[in-house]
Amino acid sequence: MQRTVTEKSKDQTEIMALIERWCAAVRRKDYDGVLKNHSAGMLMFDVPGPFQSEGLEAYRKTWDLFFGCNPDPPTFSFSDVRITASVDVAFVTAHGHCTSPNDKGIPEPLDFRLTMGLRKIAGEWIIEHEHHSVPAA
């Protein structure tokens, strides 16, 4: 069976809901919600250092920096979300929107790219990899 571009699979719908819950948790500064659905051994490449974060504890620490330099509530959302999912593996690309401090420490809008890799384990989508990036200057 072939799906048209406008039809969303159940997996794509579940992954989109996961991303929406993740964004809402970030805006609440809810660490447990941010970490939910992430693999214990997850790997992340982020815009600010460190270059690479591996494991949930290292991932959690990256949010200290983000929450510490953003107003309440932080800006954090995605547009142009594209989800490709098979039976047990999926990837997501999106345009991210948040704020980041400029040279003077004043928060200003930051647009970034997101790529995620997910695996379906015991019927649940788990984020194995996140990559946040901005174009090279």
Q: Is residue 69 part of a domain?
A: yes
Nearest residue to 100 via CA among 82, 75, 83:
75
Quick: pLDDT tens for 42-101: 999 998 888 999 999 999 999 998 998 888 889 999 999 999 999 999 999 999 999 988
Q: Is residue 3 part of a domain?
A: no
Determine the structural domain holding residue 44 and report its residue range: 10-133
Angstrom distance (rounded) from CA 43 to CA 115? 12
The sheet that has 107-121: what strands, in order across it? 53-54, 38-45, 124-133, 107-121, 89-101, 76-85
CATH of the domain at 120: 3.10.450.50
Total domain count for the chain?
A: 1
Quick: pLDDT tens for 19-45: 999 999 999 999 999 999 999 999 999
Q: Which of 1-5, 6-10, 55-59, 95-99 has the lowest mean pLDDT?
A: 1-5
Angstrom distance (rounded) from CA 30 to CA 67? 10
Max distance between CA atoms of the chain, in angstroms, equals 55
SS3 46: coil
Angstrom distance (rounded) from CA 39 to CA 124? 11
Q: Is residue 2 part of a domain?
A: no
pTM of the model: 0.89
